Amino acid sequence: RAKADGRGTWRFFEVEMDIRLQARRALELDLREALANGEFQLHYQPIYDFRAQRIGGFEALVRWIHPTRGLVPPGDFIAIAEEIGLIVPLGAWCLKTACRDAMRWPDGIKVAVNVSAVQFRDEIIVASVRDALADSHLPPKRLELEITESVLLKDNLATLATLHALRRVGVRIAMDDFGTGYSSLSYLRSFPFDKIKIDQSFVRDITPDADSGLIVRAVIGLGASLGMRTTGEGIETEIQFDRLAAEGCDEGQGYFIAKPGPAATVHETITRWSGARLTQSRAVA
């Protein structure tokens, strides 16, 4: 009996694996066509500057609008795009589109673009960034690249050389999802990032309890000592927003400020969060 049960379970796994492989292969085939079919869009989420009390920039977040599945989130296709090599042309498209869109925003409003570790191979990223800036005429200082620790896990010396080459182009570089990977601290020592983005898992720890959010407080202090700006990610409550401001965090991002939206929503978001309106809406609350 035990044997029969065991075999039954195994067969069940085989079937499930097969279904998953087929689904993944179907998604992969569709993904190969998606760029040529114009199925990608960039949504923009505002980044609030606590000191200036206004929106300082927007993060570009890619969306795949599949003809039958509808909106596919990046978590479901970025890894596949990396495996099949699509991330290089897709990443170049994101950079180009984000820079062009940012040219239509008020002067000084920055745009942040996420960059995958695969784009860092062979310095491809440097050419993509130069092309996007040349094509759009966006001043380099208005473009920020967000990289995760996976970029730094590859080949340390080559990666550092690429980061320095990007710095010479004049763009800013942010460490994304800080605190979620390994050896974060040694990375901060080996490369002078312009900004540390504190992962939303730490911001979520901020509750009305005064003793909460101790890691956030520590990372803000770390950033201050290293001369790097800090951004709190995933702010969902007014308590988290107020606490980050009080702790001296430079910027905040999250659903409490605004969810990511299409390019057409950018101007309205800037207006809604401009000083006068902010005081007004928060006084009412």
* Least spacing, CB of residue 112 vs ligand C2E, in Å: 8
Q: Work out which of 116, 159, 231, 269 binds ligand C2E, going by CB under 6 A.
A: 116
> Which of 66, 136, 130, 65 is closest to 97 using CA atoms?
136
- Which residues are near Mg ion by CB under 5 A? 114, 146, 176-177, 233
Tell me if 255 contacts ligand C2E by CB under 6 A: yes
Gap between the Cα atoms of 207 and 239, Å rounded: 7
Please report whether residue 62 would count as binding ligand C2E according to CB under 6 A: yes
Closest approach, Cβ 189 to ligand C2E, in A, equals 23
- Contact pattern from residue 83 through residue 102 relative to ligand C2E, giving x for each residue in contact according to CB under 6 A and a dash for the rest: -----------x--------
Q: Which of 6, 74, 89, 221 binds ligand C2E (CB under 6 A)?
A: 74
Task: State the amino acid at position 127 in one-letter form.
Answer: A
Which of ligand C2E, Mg ion, none does residue 261 bind (CB under 5 to 8 Å by kind)?
none
- The nearest distance, CB 129 to Mg ion, in angstroms, is 16
Residue closer to Mg ion by CB (options 49, 233) is 233
Query: Shortest distance, CB of residue 89 to ligand C2E, whole angstroms?
Result: 12
CA distance 17 to 23: 10
The C-alpha atoms of residue 63 and residue 262 are separated, in whole angstroms, by: 10
Smallest separation, CB 199 to Mg ion (Å): 6
Convert residues 164-203 into a mask of x (bound to ligand C2E by CB under 6 A) and - (unbound): ------------xx----------------------x---
* Binding status of residue 70 toward ligand C2E by CB under 6 A: no
What does the alpha-carbon distance between residue 283 and residue 285 come to, in Å, rounded to a whole number? 6
Q: Which is nearer to ligand C2E, 128 or 142 (CB)?
A: 128
Among 254, 263, 265, 273, binds ligand C2E (CB under 6 A): 254
Residue nearest to ligand C2E (CB): 254
Q: Which positions touch ligand C2E (CB under 6 A)?
A: 45, 61-62, 73-75, 78, 94, 114-116, 146, 176-177, 200, 234-236, 253-255, 260
